[in-house]
Amino acid sequence: MLLELDNITTGYGKAQVLKDICLHICEGEIVALLGANGAGKSTTLRCIAGVIQPWEGNIKFRGVDTGGVAPYILVSKGISYCPEGRDVFANLTVLENLKIGAYLVDDEKQSEFRLEWVYDLFPRLKERQRQSAASLSGGEQQMLAIGRSLMANPKLLMLDEPSLGVAPILIEAIYSKIQEINASGTSILLVEQNANLALEVADRAYVLEKGEVCLEGTGFELRDNEHVKASYLGIA
């Protein structure tokens, strides 16, 4: 098992957001996290990334308890988190943004190798490597944010709404890249508003409602589920 959340409860200040979340990701899987606005999807990713701490419950990554471990240590253990809203460093170049993603990689050769790997995956980033991130289109910034989170060579990549604000043609490109990243051995936890899209690529998915897991199953099972169809797939 790569990642295991056992009855995670957490929130912000005194406000509880997640309640008894149980989920797991096996090596090699793409797992989707679906749910309405405010359901707690981003909060779940933040908790796994160590940005916020669990109030109750345990998180295990590759069998080791990660509760209370700092985000940068989790990055070095293989957890990469690409947050909502592509927060690239606007004033830095594409190349500088990517190098920041590798700041924990000591080995210069390894980080050069990763850079070439990311450029192979997203050739547009290579073409624009000396441009400022601010000069990229929205979809290109999304590629940069994903590319940056891949620079640390993660075992688990968490993507928060990679399709948000991206034109349909680029969404397809980004999703085919997500599948390529997965095929290269990185497991993926994907938060996505577009349930159709997510269930197409996900091996399994969880549906969150008001901070609780209300459904789980394979992509195929959930696409066939009446509640999912009515509430998330827009099929009456």
Ligand X SMILES: Nc1ncnc2c1ncn2[C@@H]1O[C@H](COP(=O)(O)OP(=O)(O)OP(=O)(O)O)[C@@H](O)[C@H]1O
> Does the protein bind ligand X through residue 37 (CB under 6 A)?
yes
Which run of H or of E encompasses 209?
Answer: strand 204-209
* Dihedral sign (CA 103, 105, 106, 109): negative
Residues 175/201, Cβ–Cβ less than 8 Å: yes
Q: Which of 2, 8, 17, 49 lies at the binding interface for ligand X (CB under 6 A)?
A: 17
- Candidates 39-47, 72-80, 87-95, 129-137; binding stretch for ligand X (CB under 6 A): 39-47
Q: Contacts with Mg ion in 11-50 (CB under 5 A)?
A: 41-42
Q: Which of 28, 38, 123, 185 lies at the binding interface for ligand X (CB under 6 A)?
A: 38
Site track 70-89 with ligand X (rule: CB under 6 A), x = hit: --------------x-----
Cα–Cα dist 19/34, whole Å: 16
Residue 210, number of CB atoms within 10 A of its CB = 13
> Does the protein bind Mg ion through residue 187 (CB under 5 A)?
no
Q: 21 or 79, CB closer to ligand X?
A: 21
> Does the protein bind ligand X through residue 168 (CB under 6 A)?
no
Total residues contacting Mg ion by CB under 5 A comes to 2
Cα–Cα dist 223/215, whole Å: 12
| 235: alpha, beta or left? (left if phi > 0; alpha if psi -120 to 50) | beta
Q: Which has the closest alpha carbon to 23: 35, 8, 12? A: 8
Residues 142/160, Cβ–Cβ less than 8 Å: no
Q: Which of 4, 23, 30, 40 lies at the binding interface for ligand X (CB under 6 A)?
A: 40
> Does the protein bind ligand X through residue 42 (CB under 6 A)?
yes
> Does the protein bind ligand X through residue 49 (CB under 6 A)?
no
Cα–Cα dist 143/189, whole Å: 17
> Does the protein bind Mg ion through residue 97 (CB under 5 A)?
no
Interaction partner, residue 38 (Mg ion, ligand X, none; CB < 5-8 Å by kind): ligand X
Residues lying near ligand X in the complex (CB under 6 A): 12, 15, 17, 35, 37-43, 84, 193
